[in-house]
Amino acid sequence: MSDDQFDHFASVDPTAESAPGSNQADTDQINDEMAARLGRRPWPASNLRPGFEVSFEFFPAATDAGEQNLVDTASRLADFDPAFVSVTYGAGGTTQERTLNSIRRLKGETNLDVAGHLTCVGASAAEVHEVLDVYAEAGVRRVVALRGDPPEGESDGTRPDGYRSATELVQGIRARSDGDSWDISVAAYPEIHPKAVSPSSDLDNLKRKIDAGADRALTQFFFDTDAFLRFLDTARAAGITAPIVPGIMPVTNFEKTAGFSGRCGTSIPAWMSDLFGGVDDVPEVQQMIAATVAAEQCRRIAEHGVQTFHFYTMNRIELTLALCKILGVGAAAQAEPITSGSRSSIA
């Protein structure tokens, strides 16, 4: 998911900033009950496969209290042993300082491996490398390298003294004296980037980014699993051998997700409209459906040999927690029995 898309989704959902508090125990109990109920579905109860890995994406906190909540939230997900967590910033680096603050807190107060997002829109090459230097000083050696979308009203957004594409950005990182020490992720689009001329040109762009030195591609979120599997086959046939990690976004609110998906080119299968219809105002039911949909999506993809997943948390971790428990991810999912007793029942 591009940074401006993530930023827009957060802006239309003001409750999205994580806020663990006095009801956290109740939330955990609901998650346990949800996982127990869904775990009784006819699928294997064991982990998907040895070596199965996840990563999580957050957007930066807007306030000091939000930063603490973000640290607390990420710490809870640390129990699932993620490969890394990433922190976005908005179009043109509009939340760059917030991103840097959140990354420093996460790196300094958790044991998580942290990745910072990095875009070239609106920045000179020198400014991009200044951000990389700040990341390095904070102990961060992972980045998600994106071109970034131009600010509203601009058609391009790049600068003559900057990088013009994610490919050039990856090349610039690798050309640094410490270039080999960076782990670089780039974006991929199973249903084609909204501004791409054609699917083949979009795939060519991905190959250029990988050939420039990217370690993996993280995909835009999707709900049409067949579209991802076709894209994966096409990419492999085109000679792209680097990991292509599916981006999974549990649905926190279907109406908002559908509207957002339409703007970024992600299709919504008809069955999802039927399944989620009328439940946005019944959060317990909505969460159970959302967790089921995401878990079945992951399991089907795993059947095709994929063993890494990137979860877009939208800073709302209840669904992500439940999903990881359902899938049997990490030690936390197996650490203690899941109980069914709760003051909040889930139908």
DSSP reduced 3-state for 32 = helix
Instruction: Please provide the size of the chain in residues.
Output: 347
In DSSP terms, which residues pair with 54 in a beta bridge? 309
- Give residues with Cβ within 8 angstroms of 173, minimum separation 6: 132, 143, 145, 179, 182, 184, 213
> CA-CA distance, 246 to 187, in Å (whole number)?
10
In DSSP terms, which residues pair with 218 in a beta bridge? 187, 245
Enter the tokens of residue 316: 């709302």
> CA-CA distance, 276 to 254, in Å (whole number)?
7
Does 57 participate in catalysis according to the annotation?
A: yes
> CA-CA distance, 244 to 129, in Å (whole number)?
26
Q: Which of 17, 57, 191, 318 is catalytic?
A: 57
In DSSP terms, which residues pair with 183 in a beta bridge? 142
Q: What share of the chain is helix, strand, coil (3-state, %, to 5)?
A: 45, 10, 40
Residue 116 DSSP label: E
Which residues have a catalytic role annotated? 57
